[in-house]
Structure 1
Amino acid sequence: MKFLLVEDNPDLAKAVCDRMHLDGHTIDHAENISDAIGFSETGDYDLILLDIMLPDGDGRSFLKRHRDQKRDTPVIVLTARSQVSDRISMLDLGADDYVTKPFDHEELQARCRAVLRRKAGTAQSVLQIKDVSFNPVAGVVTVCGKTINLRNRELRLLELLFNAPGQIFPKQKLVDRLFSYEEDVSENAVEVYIARLRKHLEGSALKITTHRGLGYRLDHD
């Protein structure tokens, strides 16, 4: 998954980014509303983590703008405000959930998973296509009844393809989803991960097909 963190506290931002990276997620970090707008309007994110008190204004203005533009990316608000009225106002503006500071990182991760499941319209943790099952939360993949070990980016690439079988993903879109803006990578990196996934899926009903000039698609027999 690719997240956008909008947070001006450098220590907290680093802690959140480090934890998300450990879980295999890609995360971009904006320190203010202006940068957050730039990221959100040019990037493709699965989830936004939004602080409220920012150097150039109130994060609720970003949230309102985000929803006014009909963007449906889930937003979890990170707030030090504990008043019920504050939480209600953020939910009414379009926040999907909120976490009160200081928070436990395990709770934040659990809330991220819950919001993403709701966005996908399912409460199940294990996805199944033919003879391949995938638990994105636990990072467990089973091919023909055998559990295989995937690296973090291999897992995230499989998750993208698994959630949209039959859809063609251009290389650049996969680069945008798998890597942050700070990482200088080429489209060749995607080819490497595609090759690794194909090897892991050998013998199963799933195939990653190449559509020249267009991208890659997950198909099954």
Structure 2
Amino acid sequence: MNEHIMVIDDDIHIGNMLEEALSRDGYKVSRAYSGTEALMLLSAQKPDLVLLDLMLPGLSGEELLPKIEGIPVIIVSAKIDIDNKVELLLSGAADYITKPFDIKELKARIKVQLRSRQFTSSAELVYKELKLNTDTHSVTVNGEAIRLTRTEFAILKLLMMNPDQVITKSIILDRISADTPDCTETSLKQHISNLRRKLRSADGKDYIEAVWGIGFKMA
């Protein structure tokens, strides 16, 4: 069954562009043009993911967000205020991308969210000899425990949830910001370097590779 994405945006042009691009990728797309209409539609159907604009007629995106339960929500908004962004992520938004956006980046973020959702029922992620338990926050390589910082654990969890995908630096920073607000673009490189070193020390293998100029993926 095709995954269902609901686009909640009163901008007809952006909505049409999103519907066309996502439908071409095989997603089922539904539309709502106001917060009030979206609330009515959500009472009758449960999409796999919601793309939510903030400046909506009727019920605003900020008012609508807490009413959307059990569905990942990516905020798609022209508002770029960092406090507003952090507040929304802490209020339950899964991700935040600012307009104007690159459609390829938005699609990558959608894939990350849908893939993350598939793993919520399983506490253990496995990649080759590497195991990560989301309940106990433990990581082992060949059964040997690896001590990771909170930031290193958050980065590894995101990469293991998307083992075939290159995750850009901006997506990594956005996705782990709620758990690790201390991680910045400057420190991210050092966190990943430390993480790679710790994993390599267990059995000499590289588990994470850098994709030059883009981001990182499981090796």
* TM-score, reference length from structure 2: 0.54
Of 101, 112, 115 in structure 2, the residue corresponding to residue 114 of structure 1 is 112
Aligned to 2:31, what secondary structure does the other structure show? Answer: strand
Partner of 1:77 in structure 2? 75
Mapped to 2, the partners of 1:44 and 1:87 lie a distance apart of: 25
SS at match of 1:41: helix
**Contact map agreement 1:75 1:96 (CA 8 A) in 2:** yes
Counterpart of 1:81 in structure 2: which amino acid?
K
- C-alpha contact 2:75 2:93 (8 A) present in aligned 1: yes
What TM-score, normalized to structure 1? 0.53
**SS state at 2:47 partner:** coil
Aligned twin of 1:64: 66
C-alpha distance 21-85 of structure 1, shift in aligned 2 (>3 A): same
Shift of 1:124: 4.3
Is 1:20 matched up with 2:35?
no
Report the equivalent of 2:99.
101
* Distance apart, 1:36 and its partner CA: 0.4
AA at the equivalent of 1:103: F
Distance 2:81 2:62 in 1: 15
In 2: Cα distance, 1:48 partner to 1:17 partner: 12
Provide the aligned C-alpha RMSD in A. Answer: 1.6
Identify which of structures 1 and 2 has the higher relative contact order when contacts are C-alpha pairs closer than 8 Å and 6+ apart. Answer: 1
Match of 1:33 in 2: 35
**What residue identity is the alignment partner of 1:19?**
A
> Which blocks of at least 5 consecutive residues in structure 2 are unaligned?
120-124, 126-160, 166-219
What is the percentage of aligned positions where both structures have the same residue?
28
Shift in CA distance, 82/35, structure 1 to aligned 2, threshold 3 Å: same
In structure 1, the partner of 2:6 is 4
Which runs of 4 or more aligned residues in structure 1 lie more than 6 Å from their structure 2 counterparts after TM superposition? none
Aligned to 2:85: 87
Query: Could you give the per-residue CA deviations for residues 34-80 of structure 1, whole angstroms, max 9, x where no partner exists?
Result: 110111111121000000000113201110122xxxx2110000111
Identify unmatched segments of 5+ residues in structure 1. 127-134, 136-221
